[in-house]
Amino acid sequence: MTGTEKSDHGQWSSRFAFILAATGSAVGLGNIWKFPYITGENGGGAFVIVYLLCVLLIGIPIMMAETMLGRRTRQNPIDTMITLSDEAGADKNWHYLGWMGVIAGFLILSYYSVIAGWASAYVLKAFTGSFFAADASEIKGLFDGLIASPIQLIFWHSLFMLATMSVVARGVKTGIEKAVRFLMPSLFVMLILLVAYAMTTGSYDQGLKFLFTPDFSKLTGDSVLTAMGHAFFTLSIGMGAIMVYGSYLPKDVSISKTVFLIAGTDTVVALLAGMAIFPIVFASGLEPAAGPGLIFQTLPIAFGNMTGGWLFGILFFVMLVFAALSSSISLIEPAVAWLVENKGMNRKQACIWSGSITWLLGFGTIFSFNIWSGFKIFDRTIFQLLDYLTANLLLPIGGFCIAVFAGWIMKRQHSEHELGMPNTLSYQVWKVLICYVAPAAVFLVFLHVVGVL
């Protein structure tokens, strides 16, 4: 234990445990639910290319920076920013960065849990055989029926929040490590099988063409922002989740290799989800731009038609719920770690507090799909507003600040030491990306959206 380490701060048992937990955080609804539907809404290939570029040039360097900041102090994100900015003699305003992350985490989890609730409801639907012999319009009816019912959504959202709180209450090691160990490989295998099914639909080529052939005329300023925002969202960066996981990382682990592995896995999972879903979309005559219901309106068609679809459907949605769970726990971990380390609470109390706030906030999203669907601010429902505010604004702003802090404020010898690659070419490349490329790219995309560029 080092001098700066808080005695109550946990540590992963190994590098592998961190990889599992951080991959668990990264891979979630963002990959399987969100990536396909925003790709569908934003015209396909060109959007995918911008997203991939953002992951590579902005996401990966910032993920390394965030892990490094957390590991240096071994504290929660709020205290990490306080300790590090004081260490560097920087402005006190840097203290707010940790807070912004905690708030973003609450806001994201409030809607994330509602969508994870949909996935949970679909476990039951799969179990009762609702997908059999149903055509595309019946499957759509099933989904519309679910989101029209506040009671059902409240039930599933509450169940998911309870699950999140009970895993987080157990602590990082027992709670998180165990859950992800078997889950990630299983989800991966399922996706590959779904892609194999997609090959039999007769629209595989069309699906792949949509996903991988760029048509840049379809790209608007807002789609570029959405692609960039999604790079942050899917890698779980810009709000402290990766920072707090980094703070549990043993000192001797190489951050760069680990981050590449996590980001690579995350990207492959998203692309596999797209390759499974779009062929089904075209084969069933559905709209790629169907919105947040896309996977719930397409995958059940596959489960209803394939041999063994009953079991496969159940397993798939169970996996999806677990993937969501391993992300949701990282969304409240920064707040929980802060409450435990500063407010004298035990993990259970901290979970009850932060979980209850998020649970209540979730009602805004629930009602966006039914009784408040006509209530719009800036032309967006509460769900759309929360999504835009967090993924497109708060995470990129958080990531921008992390890049500036790690690149310009933190002393070079500290970042060299933490990243464990003093004066190497890799360090130089990272330094250029974090000091110039990543912040400039975020800034330019913002300028473009507000119409200055």
The site for ligand PHE (CB under 6 A) is made up of 25-26, 28-31, 108, 233-234, 236, 239, 241, 327, 330-331
Closest to ligand PHE by CB, 136 vs 167, is 167
Helix axes 136-147, 294-305, angle to 10 degrees: 130
Please, what is the minimum distance in Å from the beta carbon of residue 141 to ligand PHE? 27
Please, what is the minimum distance in Å from the beta carbon of residue 236 to ligand PHE? 3
For residues 395 and 233, the answer to whether their CB atoms sit within 8 Å is: yes
Q: How far apart are CA 312 and CA 442, in angstroms?
A: 41
Please, what is the minimum distance in Å from the beta carbon of residue 125 to ligand PHE? 21
- Encode burial over 173-182: b for 16+ CB neighbours within 10 A, e otherwise: eebbbebbee
Please, what is the minimum distance in Å from the beta carbon of residue 105 to ligand PHE? 7
Please, what is the minimum distance in Å from the beta carbon of residue 159 to ligand PHE? 18
From residue 132, how far is each of 120, 241, 276, 313, 430 by CA, in Å? Answer: 18, 40, 19, 11, 51
Closest to ligand PHE by CB, 284 vs 358, is 358
Closest to ligand PHE by CB, 68 vs 139, is 68
Give the residue nearest to ligand PHE (CB).
30
Closest to ligand PHE by CB, 108 vs 126, is 108
Helix ranges restricted to H, 42-174: 45-54, 60-73, 77-87, 95-127, 136-147, 150-170
Closest to ligand PHE by CB, 129 vs 171, is 171
Closest to ligand PHE by CB, 136 vs 329, is 329
From residue 209, how far is each of 212, 219, 298 by CA, in Å? Answer: 5, 16, 18
Helix ranges restricted to H, 200-254: 204-212, 221-235, 241-246
Please, what is the minimum distance in Å from the beta carbon of residue 42 to ligand PHE? 17
Say which amino acid occupies 93. N
Please, what is the minimum distance in Å from the beta carbon of residue 299 to ligand PHE? 17
Q: How many CB atoms sit inside 10 A of residue 314's CB?
A: 18
Closest to ligand PHE by CB, 305 vs 365, is 365
Please, what is the minimum distance in Å from the beta carbon of residue 238 to ligand PHE? 7
Closest by CA to 176, choosing from 367, 332, 341, is 332
Please, what is the minimum distance in Å from the beta carbon of residue 233 to ligand PHE? 5
For residues 298 and 49, the answer to whether their CB atoms sit within 8 Å is: no
Closest to ligand PHE by CB, 113 vs 327, is 327
Please, what is the minimum distance in Å from the beta carbon of residue 286 to ligand PHE? 23
Helix axes 294-305, 255-283, angle to 10 degrees: 70
The three-state secondary structure class of 114 is: helix
From residue 59, how far is each of 185, 260, 438 by CA, in Å? Answer: 23, 10, 8
Please, what is the minimum distance in Å from the beta carbon of residue 113 to ligand PHE? 11
Residues paired with residue 380 on neighbouring β-strands, in sequence order: 377
Closest to ligand PHE by CB, 136 vs 391, is 391
Q: How far apart are CA 374 and CA 107, in angstroms?
A: 21
| CA geometry: angle 282, 288, 294, nearest 5 deg | 105
From residue 258, how far is each of 54, 67, 254 by CA, in Å? Answer: 19, 10, 6
Closest to ligand PHE by CB, 78 vs 136, is 78
Closest to ligand PHE by CB, 165 vs 301, is 165
